[in-house]
Amino acid sequence: MSKLTLDRILQSQGFGTRKYCRGLVEDGEVSINGEVVDSIKTSFDTTDFEFTIFEEVWRYREHVYIVLNKPANFECSRKPSHHPGVLTLLPEQFTWRDLQPVGRLDHDTTGMLLMSDDGPFIHAQSSPKRHIPKVYVATTHDPVTPELIALLLGGVQLHDEPAPLAAQTCRMLGDHQIEIVLEQGKYHQVKRMLAAAGNHCSALSRVAIGELALESLGLEEGEWVYLDAAQLALLRAVADA
Protein backbone atom coordinates (compact mmCIF):
# COMPACT_ATOMS: atom_id res chain seq x y z
CA MET A 1 0.00 0.00 0.00
CA SER A 2 1.21 3.51 -0.80
CA LYS A 3 -0.30 6.96 -0.43
CA LEU A 4 0.29 9.74 -2.94
CA THR A 5 -1.13 13.19 -3.54
CA LEU A 6 -3.34 13.50 -6.59
CA ASP A 7 -0.82 15.45 -8.64
CA ARG A 8 1.81 12.75 -8.02
CA ILE A 9 -0.69 10.07 -8.99
CA LEU A 10 -1.44 11.83 -12.28
CA GLN A 11 2.26 12.28 -12.99
CA SER A 12 2.97 8.59 -12.30
CA GLN A 13 0.17 7.60 -14.68
CA GLY A 14 1.59 9.59 -17.56
CA PHE A 15 -0.54 12.74 -17.59
CA GLY A 16 2.44 15.09 -17.75
CA THR A 17 4.89 16.91 -15.56
CA ARG A 18 4.25 17.44 -11.86
CA LYS A 19 3.53 21.13 -12.50
CA TYR A 20 1.06 20.35 -15.30
CA CYS A 21 -0.69 17.69 -13.18
CA ARG A 22 -0.97 20.10 -10.27
CA GLY A 23 -2.70 22.53 -12.60
CA LEU A 24 -5.15 19.85 -13.74
CA VAL A 25 -6.15 19.20 -10.14
CA GLU A 26 -6.45 22.87 -9.19
CA ASP A 27 -8.51 23.56 -12.34
CA GLY A 28 -11.07 20.95 -11.27
CA GLU A 29 -10.35 18.49 -14.08
CA VAL A 30 -10.10 15.47 -11.75
CA SER A 31 -12.87 13.75 -9.84
CA ILE A 32 -13.08 10.76 -7.52
CA ASN A 33 -16.33 8.85 -7.04
CA GLY A 34 -18.14 11.59 -8.92
CA GLU A 35 -16.81 14.43 -6.75
CA VAL A 36 -14.35 17.02 -8.08
CA VAL A 37 -11.11 17.14 -6.08
CA ASP A 38 -9.22 20.39 -6.57
CA SER A 39 -6.75 20.16 -3.66
CA ILE A 40 -3.26 18.69 -3.98
CA LYS A 41 -2.82 18.37 -0.21
CA THR A 42 -4.82 15.18 0.34
CA SER A 43 -3.07 11.84 -0.12
CA PHE A 44 -4.86 8.77 -1.46
CA ASP A 45 -4.26 5.07 -1.04
CA THR A 46 -3.34 3.87 -4.54
CA THR A 47 -4.64 0.32 -3.98
CA ASP A 48 -7.52 -0.18 -6.45
CA PHE A 49 -7.66 3.60 -6.80
CA GLU A 50 -9.76 5.04 -9.65
CA PHE A 51 -10.14 8.62 -10.82
CA THR A 52 -11.84 10.43 -13.65
CA ILE A 53 -10.01 12.96 -15.80
CA PHE A 54 -11.34 14.59 -18.96
CA GLU A 55 -14.50 12.48 -18.43
CA GLU A 56 -12.57 9.20 -18.72
CA VAL A 57 -12.13 6.73 -15.85
CA TRP A 58 -8.60 5.52 -15.11
CA ARG A 59 -7.33 3.00 -12.57
CA TYR A 60 -3.99 3.55 -10.87
CA ARG A 61 -1.43 1.03 -12.13
CA GLU A 62 2.06 0.84 -10.71
CA HIS A 63 3.13 -0.71 -14.01
CA VAL A 64 1.37 -1.17 -17.33
CA TYR A 65 1.25 -4.53 -19.12
CA ILE A 66 -0.62 -4.68 -22.39
CA VAL A 67 -0.99 -6.74 -25.54
CA LEU A 68 -1.40 -4.96 -28.86
CA ASN A 69 -2.62 -6.74 -31.98
CA LYS A 70 -0.12 -4.98 -34.20
CA PRO A 71 -1.20 -4.07 -37.74
CA ALA A 72 1.21 -4.01 -40.66
CA ASN A 73 3.25 -0.90 -41.46
CA PHE A 74 3.90 0.18 -37.89
CA GLU A 75 7.38 0.21 -36.38
CA CYS A 76 8.20 -1.18 -32.93
CA SER A 77 10.27 1.86 -32.03
CA ARG A 78 9.89 4.99 -29.95
CA LYS A 79 11.73 6.82 -32.75
CA PRO A 80 10.32 5.35 -35.98
CA SER A 81 12.05 6.21 -39.24
CA HIS A 82 9.86 5.11 -42.16
CA HIS A 83 6.42 4.21 -40.71
CA PRO A 84 4.31 5.33 -37.73
CA GLY A 85 5.38 3.89 -34.38
CA VAL A 86 3.18 1.46 -32.48
CA LEU A 87 2.81 3.99 -29.66
CA THR A 88 0.60 6.09 -31.94
CA LEU A 89 -2.02 3.33 -31.56
CA LEU A 90 -2.14 3.80 -27.78
CA PRO A 91 -3.21 6.53 -25.33
CA GLU A 92 -0.69 9.38 -25.13
CA GLN A 93 -0.21 8.71 -21.42
CA PHE A 94 1.66 5.51 -22.27
CA THR A 95 4.36 7.50 -24.06
CA TRP A 96 4.88 9.64 -20.95
CA ARG A 97 5.14 6.42 -18.91
CA ASP A 98 7.97 5.21 -21.16
CA LEU A 99 6.03 2.19 -22.38
CA GLN A 100 8.33 -0.09 -24.41
CA PRO A 101 7.74 -2.95 -26.85
CA VAL A 102 8.87 -6.28 -25.45
CA GLY A 103 11.06 -7.39 -28.33
CA ARG A 104 10.34 -6.39 -31.88
CA LEU A 105 8.11 -7.25 -34.82
CA ASP A 106 9.10 -6.12 -38.30
CA HIS A 107 7.05 -3.24 -39.68
CA ASP A 108 5.21 -5.62 -42.05
CA THR A 109 4.68 -8.35 -39.43
CA THR A 110 1.34 -8.37 -37.63
CA GLY A 111 0.07 -9.91 -34.44
CA MET A 112 0.88 -10.21 -30.77
CA LEU A 113 3.10 -7.51 -29.28
CA LEU A 114 3.67 -7.20 -25.54
CA MET A 115 4.36 -3.72 -24.16
CA SER A 116 5.23 -2.57 -20.65
CA ASP A 117 7.00 0.03 -18.52
CA ASP A 118 8.28 -2.64 -16.11
CA GLY A 119 11.99 -3.10 -16.82
CA PRO A 120 12.48 -6.51 -15.14
CA PHE A 121 9.39 -7.87 -16.92
CA ILE A 122 10.65 -6.60 -20.29
CA HIS A 123 14.06 -8.17 -19.68
CA ALA A 124 12.60 -11.51 -18.60
CA GLN A 125 10.27 -11.73 -21.58
CA SER A 126 12.83 -10.66 -24.19
CA SER A 127 15.99 -12.39 -22.92
CA PRO A 128 17.14 -15.15 -25.30
CA LYS A 129 18.32 -17.12 -22.27
CA ARG A 130 14.70 -17.71 -21.22
CA HIS A 131 13.84 -19.68 -24.42
CA ILE A 132 10.25 -18.43 -24.47
CA PRO A 133 8.42 -20.07 -27.39
CA LYS A 134 6.77 -17.72 -29.84
CA VAL A 135 4.21 -18.99 -32.34
CA TYR A 136 4.00 -17.56 -35.85
CA VAL A 137 1.78 -18.17 -38.84
CA ALA A 138 3.69 -17.66 -42.08
CA THR A 139 2.23 -17.42 -45.57
CA THR A 140 4.65 -18.73 -48.16
CA HIS A 141 5.21 -17.73 -51.77
CA ASP A 142 5.67 -21.31 -52.96
CA PRO A 143 3.59 -24.29 -51.85
CA VAL A 144 4.37 -25.92 -48.53
CA THR A 145 5.92 -29.36 -48.91
CA PRO A 146 6.88 -32.13 -46.46
CA GLU A 147 10.49 -31.39 -47.40
CA LEU A 148 10.12 -27.76 -46.30
CA ILE A 149 8.68 -28.81 -42.93
CA ALA A 150 11.49 -31.32 -42.47
CA LEU A 151 14.15 -28.73 -43.25
CA LEU A 152 12.73 -26.22 -40.77
CA LEU A 153 12.51 -28.87 -38.05
CA GLY A 154 15.96 -30.24 -38.79
CA GLY A 155 17.66 -26.85 -38.89
CA VAL A 156 18.80 -24.49 -41.63
CA GLN A 157 22.04 -22.57 -41.79
CA LEU A 158 21.85 -18.77 -41.84
CA HIS A 159 24.89 -16.95 -43.14
CA ASP A 160 25.64 -15.05 -39.92
CA GLU A 161 24.88 -17.83 -37.43
CA PRO A 162 27.50 -20.28 -36.14
CA ALA A 163 25.12 -23.23 -36.13
CA PRO A 164 21.89 -24.21 -37.90
CA LEU A 165 18.64 -22.89 -36.45
CA ALA A 166 15.68 -25.22 -36.07
CA ALA A 167 12.02 -24.69 -35.33
CA GLN A 168 10.76 -26.10 -32.05
CA THR A 169 7.67 -27.29 -33.91
CA CYS A 170 6.40 -26.71 -37.43
CA ARG A 171 3.24 -27.86 -39.15
CA MET A 172 1.36 -27.24 -42.36
CA LEU A 173 -1.83 -25.19 -42.07
CA GLY A 174 -2.61 -24.90 -45.78
CA ASP A 175 -1.05 -25.14 -49.22
CA HIS A 176 0.77 -21.85 -48.62
CA GLN A 177 0.73 -21.55 -44.85
CA ILE A 178 2.63 -22.96 -41.89
CA GLU A 179 2.63 -22.59 -38.12
CA ILE A 180 6.17 -22.36 -36.79
CA VAL A 181 7.31 -22.14 -33.18
CA LEU A 182 10.69 -20.57 -32.37
CA GLU A 183 12.61 -20.04 -29.16
CA GLN A 184 15.64 -18.09 -30.37
CA GLY A 185 14.16 -14.76 -31.53
CA LYS A 186 16.87 -13.90 -34.04
CA TYR A 187 16.60 -10.96 -36.42
CA HIS A 188 14.03 -11.69 -39.20
CA GLN A 189 14.33 -15.32 -38.18
CA VAL A 190 11.18 -16.80 -39.74
CA LYS A 191 11.73 -15.00 -43.03
CA ARG A 192 15.40 -15.95 -43.20
CA MET A 193 14.75 -19.58 -42.27
CA LEU A 194 12.13 -19.91 -44.99
CA ALA A 195 14.51 -18.35 -47.50
CA ALA A 196 17.30 -20.71 -46.42
CA ALA A 197 14.89 -23.62 -46.88
CA GLY A 198 14.16 -22.53 -50.46
CA ASN A 199 10.86 -20.72 -50.02
CA HIS A 200 9.81 -17.12 -49.36
CA CYS A 201 7.68 -15.53 -46.62
CA SER A 202 4.99 -13.30 -48.11
CA ALA A 203 3.14 -12.58 -44.84
CA LEU A 204 3.85 -13.20 -41.17
CA SER A 205 1.86 -12.93 -37.96
CA ARG A 206 2.75 -13.77 -34.34
CA VAL A 207 -0.21 -15.54 -32.78
CA ALA A 208 1.07 -16.60 -29.34
CA ILE A 209 3.81 -16.07 -26.77
CA GLY A 210 4.30 -18.96 -24.39
CA GLU A 211 0.87 -20.15 -23.28
CA LEU A 212 -0.87 -16.86 -24.07
CA ALA A 213 -2.64 -16.89 -27.44
CA LEU A 214 -3.74 -13.76 -29.27
CA GLU A 215 -7.00 -15.42 -30.28
CA SER A 216 -8.03 -15.73 -26.62
CA LEU A 217 -7.94 -11.94 -26.25
CA GLY A 218 -10.45 -11.19 -29.01
CA LEU A 219 -8.53 -8.23 -30.42
CA GLU A 220 -8.95 -6.82 -33.90
CA GLU A 221 -5.85 -5.41 -35.59
CA GLY A 222 -4.88 -2.14 -33.92
CA GLU A 223 -6.72 -2.96 -30.69
CA TRP A 224 -5.05 -3.46 -27.31
CA VAL A 225 -5.94 -4.69 -23.84
CA TYR A 226 -4.48 -4.63 -20.32
CA LEU A 227 -3.22 -8.03 -19.23
CA ASP A 228 -4.93 -9.38 -16.13
CA ALA A 229 -3.21 -11.27 -13.31
CA ALA A 230 -3.92 -14.71 -14.79
CA GLN A 231 -2.55 -13.74 -18.21
CA LEU A 232 0.58 -12.24 -16.64
CA ALA A 233 1.03 -15.43 -14.63
CA LEU A 234 1.01 -17.46 -17.86
CA LEU A 235 3.78 -15.29 -19.31
CA ARG A 236 5.86 -15.25 -16.16
CA ALA A 237 5.55 -19.02 -15.66
CA VAL A 238 7.17 -19.67 -19.04
CA ALA A 239 9.89 -17.08 -18.46
CA ASP A 240 10.72 -18.57 -15.06
CA ALA A 241 10.71 -22.20 -16.24
Which positions are catalytic?
A: 106
188: left (phi over 0), alpha (psi -120 to 50) or beta: left
Q: Among 73, 204, 82, which residue's Cα sits nearest to residue 137?
A: 204
Q: Among 87, 199, 211, which residue's Cα sits nearest to residue 139?
A: 199
Residue 5: C-alpha distances to residues 27, 40, 102, 185 (Å): 15, 6, 31, 42
With a CB cutoff of 8 Å and minimum separation 6, the contacts of 97 are: 13, 14, 64, 117
Q: Among 236, 211, 210, which residue's Cα sits nearest to residue 63?
A: 236
Q: What 3 state SS string does 121-154 have?
A: HHHHHHCHHHCCCEEEEEEECCCCCHHHHHHHHH
Q: Could you tell me the sign of the dihedral formed by the alpha carbons of 7, 10, 11, 12, in that order? A: positive
**CA–CA separation, 146 and 149 (whole Å):** 5
